[in-house]
Structures are given as C-alpha cells and as structure tokens.
Structure 1
C-alpha cells in the first residue's frame, strides 16, 4: 500500500504530479468519443485527416525517441576520445590483417606480431606494438573490443586522455618485461615451452587495458573498487592457471603494475587503509561471481592452443598431439617416460565419457556459484567441501599415486611437472574455501531438512547403483578390457571414473576398455551420469521454495499488514523464527541465541490476541528449554509483563513525530529550516519511490552508498533491528532520496509501514545513509520532507525509530539488583565501544532536532540469573558476524 504516485519522478519534477499523456501519444477518435460519452459515433470526414496526422506523429515520436540515446552515445564518444580511437585502431588493424591473410593465403596473426622471450632478448622490439594490437583469432574482437571500451572509459574518465596513455604505456611495458620473465622462470624447463619461445605468442589489447583499469579502481567508490579488483584478479588468475600463455602472465603483471600505480597516485585517509567489512549483500555476490569464474576455468583451457597452465589439461583437445596406440600399449606393459603420460592423457581425451566427466564438474560448480550468489548456506558448505576435496585429490593423484608407481621416485614427478600441478591445483581451492568459511555469515538462506535428505539419498543411491553396474560389467565381461581385471583392480580404478581428466594426468591407468563395447559405455558413462544427478540435486536444493522459515516468514508478512506497532515490520526480516497463535491470526518474531529466545518487539497481527500471545509464547519457550526475552517492547507491553513478575531495562528511546503538528517555526527549528533552504539553493530535490521501481542507476547508487558506508566501519554490519540493502528490496518499503541537479543520489532513507485494521497509519525510519562528500543537512532535509509528505497524506505518526542501546545511561539504578546493574553496564559498554563506529549516541542527539515525543523501549526478562546469556544474545543478534567465542571473552573481560 505504498504511495506510487512519485515512483517515476525525475529530479526536479514535483512529486504527485501524476503521469500525463505524452503529446506525441495519439488519442484515437473512438477513445475520445468514449471519454465524452459518445461511444458509437463514427468519425466525421473532417476528423479523418486528423487521425492520419496523429498516426504520423506517433511514428515520428517513436523514431524521435532514439534522439536522446544518440545524443548520449555521441556525448560518451566525445568525452572518451582516446578509448574510442584506440578501439577503432585495434579493430581496423585486425580486420586489415585478416583481409591480407585471406588474399595472400597467409596466416593470421602474422609472425611479426608474435612476441617471445627470445625476440625480446635479441632486441626485436618492433614486434611489441603489433603484439599488443592484434588478437589471436578474429572472433576474439567480439570480446576484446567491448572490454577495451569499458576499461578505457573507466580510466579516461578518472585520469584524462594524457595520463591514461602514460599509465597504459608504463603498465604495458612493465607487464611485458615482468610477465615474460616470470613465464620463463615458471615454465622454461619444458620442451614445449622452448618451441613456443621460438614461435612467440600474441598479447592482445587486453594487456594494454588492464593496467589503466586497475589504476583507475583506486579512484572509484569502495563498492566498484572491490568489484573491479576482485573480479579482475579472478579472471586474470583463471587465465594464468588454466591457459598459461605468456600473454596471460603479462596481463597479470600489467594488472599488478596498474594496482601499484593507482595506490601511489590516490590520496587516501588512514581509515581507508584498515581491513574493511563489506556488506552481506555485496560479499555473497562477489563470492558467487569469483566462484563462477573459477568454475569456467576448464573452458578457458580449451580456448588455448598452448594449454600449459597448471590446470590446463582440457587444452589438449585443441592440441596437435595424436594418440599412438602402439606406444600406449608399450606404456601399459611397463614402459615409463614422459611420452607415456602424454599418451594416457590423449587416450582419456579420445573417449567422450572422459571429456564429459571433465566438463560436468564445471557445471556443478556453476550451480554452486549460483547458490552462493543467492546466499544459500548449503551452497557455501558445498563449496567448502568441494574445494577442500579438490585440494586433497590433487595431492593424492599428483603426488601420492605417481610416487608409489614411479621407479624414479620424486625425480620423475619433478620432470613431469606433477609437483607443480599439485601445488597450484591445491592452493586455489583451499584459499577460496577459507574465504567462504570466513564469510559464512553472508549465507543465511537454509534448505529444508526433508529436501536436503532426499537429495543426498538420491545422489548416494545413484552412486551406489552406478558403482555396482561398473563392477558387474567388469566381472562379467573381462574380455572387453585390455587386461582381465579382477575385483581389486576394478575397485582401485573405480574412483577415477568420477574424476575430471586433470586429476589423472600423471596416473598410469591399470587397464582400459576396448572401443565399441558395453564395457566401454559403462566405463565412460557412470561418471557423467553421477554428475548429472548431483547437478540436478544441487539445483533442486538451491531452488527450494519451502526454505526453513520461508513459509512462516511469508505468513508473518501478511499478518503485519493487519495490526502492529511502529517497529513490528522489522519482525518480517530474514534471520527470524516465528511463533503463531493457535488461531494463526497473530505472531511473535524471535531468534534463539545462547538459549535465549529474543523477540523482535512484541506480537503483531490480531490485536485482541496480543495479551494471550505473551503467555502462550512464554509457555512455548519453556517447553523448548529456552528463556523468553522480549526486546524493544513499549510501555504498555512492559506493564503487562511487569504484572506477571517480569523485570525490565530501558534499552533505547523511540522518537515519534506527529505529522499533523509538524511545523518548523521557532529557534529550535533553525537547523532544520537551514537544511531545507540549503537544499533548495543547491538544486537538491527529494524523490519518493521503492527500490523495485527506482531506475537502475538509482538502485546502483544506493548500493554504492551503502557499501561505502559498510566498508568504512571497523566492525561487521549490524542486523536485528537495523536494516541494510536487503531489507530495501521489499516493495512495501518506501525510499526517500535526495537527488541533486546532476541526478546523483546524495542520501537515502527508508521508511517501514505500520498498519492498523489493515490500513497504513504511520511510517518508521530505518535505513539512513549518505555519501561521504554530501552537503551538511541533507538528512535533516529528507526527514523534514517526509514529515511534510505524511502531513499531506494524513498519517498518524512518523517514527524516527530508536537508536539501539542509546539513552541507557540516563536510567536510574536505584532498587536494582546487582545482576540487573551488570546487564545494564554490559549494554552501556557495548554502546560505548561501537559508538565511534556507528554513532548511536550521535544519532540519538540528531533525532532530537525534530522535537519528537520520546517513548521508551525496553527489554523484559523473567530470570535475573540468565543476564549473562541475555547480554550475549543481544550482542550476537546485533553483530552476527562476530564469533560467539569472541563475545564470551568480551563479556568476561567486562565482568572481571
């Protein structure tokens, strides 16, 4: 029931003006007649030309709508001359060489465009410009040109054309020198690398673009700075690990040089140098994207003709090697050399099942990445287990098994590169698993236990059935293999049927199936079938519509629209559990921490049940062996609980403004009047909308403002009764933004609705953030404008909410027990510690500018002996990112 009249208001346009019909949009004669009560009247002869004219103007209007787009494109081209010019030069040169190669029957790219370590050592520097301008294949232009335009525009808009050119030159030269040196140091011992050093490789324009992009990231907002660096380094690392071309090492080196230059050029405050805590919303998105980039690594390997990265086994699909069946048989009979390992790889790649079983794990990890992106806790645990399993298998299959089978011991493994493959294969997944584990607080969506059990049972059943089929075929059709396998050999070989080929590079197969046999179909097929089942099971779990608490949350979201208090809407947020009254018409939202059932305000829904709800919920908690504690309740509910023998403590003060009495006259309102007048002079307007209906540019700016705010805090983002970006997504939540004349969002506030008898009667302030460089008074301006809007709408109240844990120190301590004093002192200490970070006391004083009515909010508890657990529960609820052990040590230190 939010007001949508201002959802599409542009900056500077008065709110509530409606959406008038465009003058270019015709109104047909029949529609005009219906508007005048003449539904059946036919148009006269004089009206016919007017209709034709209207039709023509409609078509003209449709074409004219492209005008603003073309002006935007033209303006962008004019403001980025270096980027556009360089992209045009790259495109033109590549197309010219493609045509030349087609006419002369030559090769593309030509040999003079291929750079190598040997050419650089010999002083053949003339190959560098062409190596940076040409691409390996003409189709690469479809990827490189858009990336070049995006990266170049980001840098040029920050540095200007001249400085961007210098940064690109420095990073490119430094990247080539360092990248070529590192690539030779890492792979110089390889025979394949020696031939490649003579032939050379094409670098491509990405080696020019990546340096300025990384340097420019230092001059972007915190949100985009992290996005550019995290995603950029993930892509570059994937290229190095899965392709391993010299150009990939050069791109990595250029990115590092650009990062260093940006760091040196940017002026940064000390507070920006600390370790920052990103918001939950952005962290899980970044982890999902990085996981997807890593999951696509094998496909990247297939695009390389060199395939010399540590994880680039699938690149052999496009390699020049061919299988030598005679040599393969000699290897199976005991011959041992590097050529044998090449034959094993090619034999496995010659079987379709081996290729599919190498690609399906990529699809599985993409599904897991999607789950991470959506915040699924099961996806996080699956990612951790899968990555740790990958690292363990790398050690087993690259080191343990070959070492036990090779007569030359570790010397053979070093010669074959097995140790290098084990190192790189294990380090990346372990590092990513640790990052996901440290960010577990970001993944809150749980899968129902029944669905998870069904998926695990189905996957395990499929695995057992496939293994049984493999053993049966192996024992009943032994003649269809190169040797007659016994039960021991079949069991030893069986785990390899489910692993990607990359793990089996340096492993001697015990036997192989003969082509075109049932044994070959089973040998190749059981792995792909299992992975398909696993992928379907994972997607089924990640798309669980009946998540634990999801249906209850949806039901509670409907009940809050019946009746509630000013902060009842917070009970519909993620992370809460729900207790419903026997009739199902009222509900209490709560969460369990340290044996304490801590509620989010009191009950909401049918108001006639609230008094009984308190008693029934207390009985329910007693059955669960929990101690019920009612948090952020008001005086009326506090008195009810006090009549039942409960004790209470003041935990904040809610500031309530009555819109009907709103005025800004008098000396006390000087700051508010000044803020309103300053906003008018600066061309700042207020725009009322919802996150869903706001333009994409506004959504992006709101996320940027929120991420920058969260990143600058030394503690994790607070939750419980404090909303973040995720809570803005509810279409019932209003957003009031301060937008300047350039369309830049300077500040944003969110407002939560309160219903009575199914009608919205008031709004509560929640989300409240602004840009670091926004003008003083922008928040006063937004709150004042919201009060004026609500006065026009006839709302009963406007709550500025309560600053959590603020105002506690003003409470009298007489007649309080020592335990109560301890709880109060703990909460006061927590408030003092987080005050420099979150400024709740400052927020408390800020809200008093609006001359509100002050209403206390309380925490009510039945048992003083549980005060330590209550303190832990409150702290844990507000700071879910902190570990329980840290909180326990913190409280013990205060107690001592």
Structure 2
C-alpha cells in the first residue's frame, strides 16, 4: 500500500507558520538565546522542579546586600539565570518574551542587551543603596530587606518593556505608563519585598531615561478631556486595588504589617461601589464626578478621624502600636486627596448628563435647508449629499456644517465636514471636542483624503472603501477596455430597451409602483433589511434634487433603476457683477442600483454608461460610482485593523456582494480615491464596529443578524 499524498493546500499553512516562526527568531536572537539559557540552567541545576531558594548554593548566585558585603559581586551576572521557584517560570517567561522580545524587535539586539543589562544593574544596586540609607533609621521593613537576597531577570525584562512602551503612539503610551506606575507603587508600598523595590527602581529609571532621550521625547500639553477621564479612572482603580489589599491580602511592607479580617461581602461592596463610580468617571458623567467627590471626602474624613483616635487607642490598650493600622489609613488617604485635587482641577471633563436623551452636542443644530445652503456655498465630497438624509443629525461648524449619526455611544461623522477650503482641521477638532463633552466617541466614516490629512493629532486613519470616479470630459466608449459597455448598449438597442433620465418624484404612479416592486424584490432576496447610512433607498431617490436613470422596454416595463446624487463644488460668482454667488454642481454620485429579476441582462452596464453620457453631454466634470464599503485598494498595506476589516468584508460578502460590486465597476475604467475611517485609537474600534452595524442596519433585529450569520456559515461550508 502506498502512502497517501498530502494535498498541497494542507502543507501551505504549516509552511507559512514555520516561515513566520523563523522570521521572528531571526529578529529576536538575543531573546531566544536568553530563554534557552534560562531553561538550560534550570534543567542542569534541577531548579526547573525544585525551588532555587532551598539550594545550598543559593547565596552564591543571588544578589543583595549580604552578597555584596561578602564580596560576591559576580552575582550581578549570575542572578538573571535563576528563579526562586519553579512556578515563577509561568509568569516570568511571558514577561521575558514580552519585554525583551518587544524591545529587541524595535531596537535591535545590541541596544536591547544594553537596556536589559543596565536595567538589571540599576535595579539591584539602586535598591541596595536605598536600603543602606534607610535602614540606618531603624525602619523595620528596610532592616528586614537588608538581610534578603534575590534572583531573576525581571528587572531586565521590565526595563526593556518600559523602553518598548515609549515607542507606542498616544494614548496607548500614557495608558501603559499609568498602569506601570500604579503596579509599581502598589507592589512596593504594600507587598514590599526586595524584588518589588528592585522593580520600582529599575522601572522608575527606565521611565525617566526613556522620556528624557530625544528619540522618545514627546510634547506635553494640557491633558485632553479623554486623558482627564483616563487618569481619574486610573486613580479610582488604584483605590479599588488598595481596598482589596487592605481587606483580604496579608502584607508586611513599608507602611506596616496587615492581617486582614474582612469578609467577602465587605470586599464585594467596596469594589462594586468604586467600579460604578470609576466607570462613570471614564465616561465623563457629572453624577459620577459628584459621587467620586463625596466618596473621597468621606474617606478623608474617616482617615482623619482614625489618625485623631490613634493616641487614645494606644493609651487604652486597644492597639499595641499605631503601626497596626497606619497602612490602612495613610496610603488611601493620600491617594484620595490626590484624586480629589485632580477631579476639581479637571472638572470640565466631567459634564456628561447621565440620561442619554439629555446628551446634546454643544453646537448649534441646523435644519436640512440650512445644511443644503452651506453645501451649495462651500461644496463637499462625493457623498456629502447623503448628509441631507433624514437619519442624520446636523450641527454648525463655524460657517460650515457637519452631519453625523449617533449609535452605541458613538458619533459617526458622515463623510467630510462641509466647510470652506482649509477648514477641515478646525471642524474635525471641534467635532471631537463637542462629542466628547456629550459622552460620545467621535469618528468619521468615508472621509476623503483632505480630511484624513487634517485629522486631529494622535488620531488614526484606515481605508474602509475605495471611491470609483469616471471623468466625463471627452468620454467615449471606444477601445478594447470599453468592450463590455459597448456590448450592453448595442444589445439594449437590439432589444428595444431605452434610457430615460428623470426626477422620480415627478413620475406617474405606475412607474413608482414598478420601482418599489423591483426594490422590494431585491431586498427580500438578502434576508436582511435594506442597508442605510451611505446606501440610499427608494425614499432618498424621491428627492427632487436627485436624478434617476430608468431602463424601459417598448411595453413600458422597467428593467432597472439607478439614482444619482448631486456633488457640489464651491459656489461661483455671478456674471452680473452683483458680487453674489450661485451654486455649482460639478458631478453626480451613483447611489441606488436595482434590477428586475428575469429582465434585461446587462441592464446595469447600460444604465451607468447611458447616465455617464447624459451627464457628460450636460457639461459635468465626473460621475462617482460610489465606494463599496469594506473594500480597499489591492496595493494598500494591510495592518492589523485592515486585516480585521478584510475578514468582516469576507463574512458579509455573500449577503451584499460589496467586492463583487467593486469588481463590476471596473468595467467603466474609473480612477480610484480611498475613503477613510478616522478614529482616536484602536480602543474605540469595537464600539465603532457596533455603531456602524446599527447605522447600516438600523431595522435589523438580533434574530435577523443571527439567522444571516448561520446562512453565511452554511453557504461557506457548502
């Protein structure tokens, strides 16, 4: 019997995985070598399964004041290759991979080796120096640590991690540094072991040096509303962690010794109260801000009362020493005091109303007519007319306008702001500030290149669609590239299919009935309601400002419909010398596309080509065939966010065929312009994804989405 042949498709994932692993190892040889050495030492000495601290030779490889006092300075080089206990490998190896590996990926092997070695030496010697100075005061904690020794590469890994974090963009850099500062502060003050002090020294030095080096130096300005809320949230989380330490974790650190006796119910109540207030602070709720002030004031009064009663409690014998409760009072009191000062200074960031119905943007609302007037004056992008649709909210931005929709606590700006030339940056900044004051997450969807270039500092952009534009001057369907279009036009002539460009609202009832019937038939085949937001329906096609192309046979039967939205350029001066301006339509954007089942085959090619010729003869500059959502240029570099969007596009492709539609439009030889999603940072993307789903499918129920997902899965499996 011959061995079965493995299909090539089964080998390819394995080969790709091996290639990626090989690439990672080539980029991080120092990290890989150190991990191998760490495990090899553990295997050779048996400390992979036995605690190192129990070995007779432990003091010969561990660092600390006793080792240095005996002249064992070589321990600075030996200690990183050992760990105290086998279980420590479970937490240490991810730290080494994340800290050293990330730094080596960003800085290279030699620089990472220098950072790691420097961090290890600074952490160990710095902690020893601090203990020598402080222990002379007789502080029990410091005296105890002067007798301790330690092993492990954690100082090196943490320092490398701090330097790698310095390369993060805002606001992730601030978030990571806050997390490190909280972790270091809590661990060294409460747990207070030798390695906690070493970590604190190493990471404090790493934060200082990485912030001082020109390569990592960033301008510091007044915190944004979001940063105020983030820092307030971090302080409350720290208080919550301290509460847990005080109530359930025994410790013997710099603040004293603690033997907790609290019940689980007490802990749960404290944590729940703080979590509720902290979540409100994160969202900028005014009521949460007031709650935090009240909670902080109560804790400060409680601490003050406790300090006042300490002498009496000692005198009566209730306490042997004030140190028994000192740790329970001092650190939370200091942190609450700092939080209260911070909240008072940053009070402007916490003005969001609790009731969603009362959250309005601090900007003047505009009527549809007012927005149209500004659009006619300043012009807009290829989808700007969609801002006149009913579902949008409209606000003023200086003399311009912005249209947006609010879903799932996200404000989605539709397209570009409608502003004078050069006003995009100010409009986007004003929109971001206004939405954040209302407790909403700002973003802009299907924005053009001008807006992408003018996005606020720190914002990200990702291509979410590709606009396809056909220039009309000199348009002629000649040459091989237009073969499919010519075929459709010629076939329409043979089958007596004619083209009509009309205003749908002016058509007789029998035409409107056919249009609605064709659209309802198309919608019913999808299994989901019609998509909205940047995709219009028959109701939008009834707008008197919109043109509609019809394909009609000799019997008056409709075979297809296309709707075209006006694209305004900046208004031009009148010729009469009055100084007044008049609106100027420069192009048209394709919106609604519907065809009758069983009708004329190439009806869409015929309708789009005939419409383009009609607009070309009328003297317009271009037609936009519109951008298919979740379609990016093939040559665009794909980052992690792009890859997620590609997977989402592939998921819904069987339902709406965006990629198929994009390929269809290539028959008209268009030029392409990217459309962007502008957003603050990756932390907003999950919420933005939910908001966009609701914007596109406002009438879809959870049952519709689940049944469609099942249908997609079965389609893919068949």
TM-score w.r.t. length of structure 1: 0.41
TM-score w.r.t. length of structure 2: 0.50
